Amino acid sequence: MVSVAGEHRLEAVYTKHRDNEVVRREADVLCVMIGANAATRWLPEGVQCDEKGFVLTGRDITDLSKWKASRPPFHLETNFPGLFCAGDVRHGSIKRVSSAVGEGSMVIAFIHQYLALETQA
């Protein structure tokens, strides 16, 4: 996308083709997608990710050799017990803000469950 146009609302987007031709496309809605690339290098060494760098959680974890809990991982839990992941960086996520917000809410519930289990141990 090169630019957008509109007087009081969005009316069109301008896109550039591979041959550098700029084309106007009528539009009244624009959805922006960010997070297409996983930025996970900052995570602790050993957090399991897929081939594109997205974090594996729950039943998507393929290597539980380092799993130290007596229970299976929670749905949004990484291969490190107590380390959770939500949003675009998670393998298999929908890559939408509303999903990330929902997953963030779910993580809070999982953290409460995790902490309750830890206090019982």
Residue 24 pairs with which residues in a beta bridge? 14
Q: Which tokens go with 23?
A: 């084309």
Tokens 């939500």, residue located: 86
User: For 69-85, what is each residue's pLDDT tens digit?
Assistant: 889 999 999 999 999 99
Q: In this structure, what DSSP letter does residue 74 have?
A: P
Per-residue pLDDT of the chain (121 residues; tens, 9 = 90+): 789 999 989 999 999 988 999 999 999 888 766 657 888 888 989 999 999 999 999 999 988 887 888 899 999 999 999 999 998 899 988 777 788 888 999 999 999 999 998 787 6
This prediction has a pTM of: 0.68
Cα separation, 55 vs 90, whole angstroms? 5
Cα separation, 35 vs 89, whole angstroms? 7
**Comparing C-alpha atoms, which of 75, 99, 80, 79 is closest to residue 88?**
99
